[in-house]
Structure 1
Amino acid sequence: MIHAFDAATALRPDGSGRLRGKTSPDYWAFVGPFGGTTAATLLNAVTQDPRAAGDPLALTVNYAAPIAEGGFEIDVRPVRANRSSQHWLVELSQGGGEPAAIATLVLAERRESWSHQVARPPQPGPAPIYDSPSSARWPGQYRFRFAAGAPDFSGGGTGETRSEVWIADAEPRVLDHAALAAMGDAFFGRIFHARRSIVPFGTVSMTTHFHVSAAELAAEGATEVLGVADARTFHKSYGDQAGELWSPSGRLLATTTQVFYFKA
C-alpha cells in the first residue's frame, strides 16, 4: 500500500510536457495544503525528470497564492547546467491560471572531498509524544516529540521561540530528500510559540539546503529527524524562522530558513 506522503506528492505526465498532481486531504492545513508537501512535490517534479542529474542541493519555494483543493499542473524547465550542477525552474498552477507556487532547485554532483561538520548536534533530553491541538489535518501525519520548547497555547505574555523536536512520519517511512523538504516546514510556526496562541499564519518563501547525497541518506536508514528551530524577529506582519534537521546519528542533514506572514 502506498504511503500517504507518497500519494500526496505523486505526479503523472499528461502528454503535453506538463505534470499533474492533486492535493491530499491528509495534508490539509487551514486554507490550503501543508507547505511541506507542496515543496516535496515541486522537488519530485525535477528529480523524477529523465534529464535530472545529481542530488538536491538547494530548494527555494515561493508560495505566491493559496492552492485550492483539487488538481494542479506543474511546468518544469532546466535553466542552466554545467559539469557539476543543474539549475531548474518549477511552477505550479491550477486551471491554466497564474502560478500559485514557484520553485528553483539546484542539483549537484557530490564528489569526494575534505569534510568537516562545524555544527554540533543538540543533546536532547526526554521527549514525550506531543498531542497537537491544531484543527489542521497535516500534523496528524507526523509524530512530534518535543525535547525542549513545546508550544504553549495558554495565551498571555511572550513565549520562547526555540524548540528541539523529534519529527517522524506517523506511519514510518525511511527519509529521502522529499521527506526532508517537507519536514523543513513541519515546525510549528514560531509566531505560535511567541504569541502562545494559534494566529493566522502562512509561509511566503522557504529555502532548504541539503547536506547529504541520496546514497548517504539511504545509508542512514533513518525514519526520524531531530529538528531545531528558532526565530530572530517579528515585525509589521512578517517573521522569520531558521531550522536544522539532524539524523539520530548526529549528522546534519539539512538546514532551512523561511519568511512568513502573520496576523496578531
Structure 2
Amino acid sequence: MTFSSPQNKRGVTPAKAMVAAISGYAMDGFDLLILGFMLPAISASLALSTSQAGSLVTWTLIGAVLGGILFGHLSDRLGRIRVLTFTILMFSVFTGLCAVAQGYWDLLAYRTLAGMGLGGEFGIGMALIAEVWPAHKRNRASAWVGIGWQLGVLLAAFITPLLLDIIGWRGMFLVGLLPALVSFAIRRGMGEPEAFTKDSRVAEEMSFTRRGSRCWFADRATSKASIGHSDPVFGADFGYYGLMIWMPSYLSSTLAFR
C-alpha cells in the first residue's frame, strides 16, 4: 500500500513502527535460539527422549505457521496494532508458563501456543512497516527490520552460555520474557496505521486486503507473483531454521560448547 504521508493522524510514525518491528523480530530470534541451547538441559530435567525434545522445536515452528495465518487474517480485519499487541501478550504468557512446565505434554502445549504468538507477530510487524513507511524508503526499512532478528540471535548466543548453568532452563525462559514485555510496552502506546481509520482514500485498498488469502490468487499475474515469492522463501526458511535452531543443541551436547 502507498500512502501520501509517512505519519498518520493517530500517531504511528515511521520511527515508532521501526522500533516496534525491530524489537519484535529481535524477540523472535532470541526465543528460537535459546530453545536450541536449552534442549539438552530440558531433556535431562524432564527425562525427554530425542524425538520428544525435537518435537518441542517442530511444534514451535508449526505454531508459528498457524499463528502467522490466523493472526494475519485477523489483523486485516481488526487492525495491525490491536492484533500485534495480542500476539505479544500471547507469546509472553505462554513463554512464562514454559518456566513452570512439569512434563513433556504441558511444555509442548506451551511452546506451540507461544509459537502461534511469535508467528503472528512476525508477519504483522513487517506489514506495519510496509503500511507506515513511505514507498521510496520501504525496502530499506524492511531490511532494517530483518536485522532485528539477527540481533536477537546474537544476544541469545552471548547470554545463554553465560546464564544457563546459573539460572537453569526455567530461568532462561523467564529471561526470554523480558524482550517480549518491552516489545509489548512499546506497542501499547501506538495507534492504528492510517489504513485502519475511516479515511475514504484507503477504503478500496482495504476491501481488497480484507479478502485475505483469496488475494494471493486474485488473477494470473498475482498468482504468479505469490508462487514466485513463496518458493524461494520456503527454501530459505527450511534451510535456515533447520540449521540455526539445531546448531546450538549440537554444539552443546556433542562438542560441549559453553
The normalised TM-score by structure 1 is: 0.26
Structure number with higher relative contact order (C-alpha < 8 Å, ≥ 6 residues apart): 2
Query: Which has a greater percent of strand?
Result: 1
Query: Which has a greater percent of helix?
Result: 2
